[in-house]
Amino acid sequence: MHGTRHPYRQFVFAFFALFVVGQFARSQDKVIELKTADSLLGKRFGNEEVRELVGNVHMVQTSASGEVVKLWCDRALRYMTQNKVELFGRVRVERDSTKLRAAEGVYWGDDKRAVMRRKVRLERGSMTLTSNAGEYFSELKRAHFTGDVVVIDSASVTTCEKLTYFEDDERSIAVGNVKVVNSERAMTVYGDSLVRYGKIGYTIVPKNPRLVEVDSTESAAVDTLVVVSQTMEAFRDPYDRFIATDSVLIARSDLSARAGRATYYASGDSMILERQPIVWYDVSQVSGDSIVVSLEDRKLRSVYVNGRAMAISQTDTTHTNRFDQLTGRELTMYFEGQKLEHIDVERNATSLYYLFDDERPNGANRASGDRIRIDFIDGQVNDITIVGGVQGQFYPENMIANREHQYNLDGFRWIENRPRRQNLSIVQ
């Protein structure tokens, strides 16, 4: 009986041993190990034991998973009970490829958390961030920055008031007066906030976005494209896409548009408008189920309308109720040298064209066919060609005077509130 251990005592001993080992492992996980310092001085602040480290201070904390946080500074105050270190002068915190610098800061060993102040700088890969203050959670791989935040990467420069960065998915959440500048494309995006997923090349501005793209032409003239909407997304892919959604308004010197959704292919110089899109060019208005605006070297080349296509032009400023009109299943406007060259309308093509004799109104012609082509010279109609199943009708002036609305083609809708750049709150 005396030579045999009681099973209950064996169990208690084993449990106690495991508990002690576990506690020791956890405490080791929080230990901040001093590697180097030119001098060390012990002191007490009240009941707190404090060690002052001066000159070439270097400390290391190794987690249970093997991850290492390295600390450097010129001078440090180490609070032994709190497991806290105050860092002064050329402060540097590193974990893997993440490097955090500041003029001063505090590191909490239990939380593996660094709070940095003054001249804060984060480096990770090709990305550099600066701010007035920052907080870095090493174990959570998360950082939060405030005050004059500037982020520079290979494609853009972002400024904001606050930014939170998540290392695992390279996600950034920017808040407050957000501005993203892409100098290569002379493009700037503004918004109240922004979320960027670096690994997949996706960015969203969920509220009050505004895109401004400045084009300096060969003649030294400056043309600016402005896009505003409720939400804007950017995809860094071979097409370099921007998608604006809800209440989309677009304006540049020669063209304006509105739609429920707009997809802008920055690298391909084209734009797709959907959800009741309308495009204005000079005195013309174009609408349909979808519209594709094509550019070449940022100059307007064509406007293609698919489905319930309609083009409307105001004929004369003294006869505001008279509009030349074109409808069909498909309509394409072609431009040369920033001027409208010709319009092609195909499938169920119909035109209404008002006539003038020495600037005096002289009735209207209505015609239809499989295809209608209108050629322009200096913005004025030069020739109209109708092909296939041609039908036509002339309305004399005494029949249509003051009754022009009765002769409008099906689907006619003239919109007065055309978007203008000066009304889109451009910030330069």
| Cα dihedral across residues 212, 217, 222, 225: positive or negative | negative
pLDDT in tens, 103-119: 999 999 998 999 999 99
Domain CATH number, residue 298: 2.60.450.10
Asked if pLDDT for residue 199 goes beyond 70, the answer is: yes
Q: Is 94 a domain residue?
A: no
Flag whether 299 is in a domain.
yes
346-370 pLDDT tens trace:
999 999 999 988 889 999 999 999 9
Within-domain flag for 258: yes
Asked if residue 171 is part of any domain, the answer here is no
Phi and psi, residue 319, nearest 5°: -125, 75
Does residue 283 sit within a domain?
Answer: yes
Decide: 314 and 325 in contact? Cβ < 8 Å: no
Does some domain include residue 343? Answer: yes
**Which residue range is the domain that position 359 belongs to?**
244-428
Structure tokens at 140: 């959570």
23: helix, strand or coil: helix
Q: Express each pLDDT in 265-306 by its tens digit.
A: 877 789 999 999 999 988 889 999 999 999 887 788 999 999
The reply to whether 370 falls in a domain is yes
Residue-wise pLDDT tens digits, 123-139: 988 889 999 999 999 88
Q: Is residue 307 part of a domain?
A: yes
Triad 238, 243, 249: Cα angle to 5°: 135
- What is the number of structural domains in the chain? 1
Amino acid at the residue 228: V
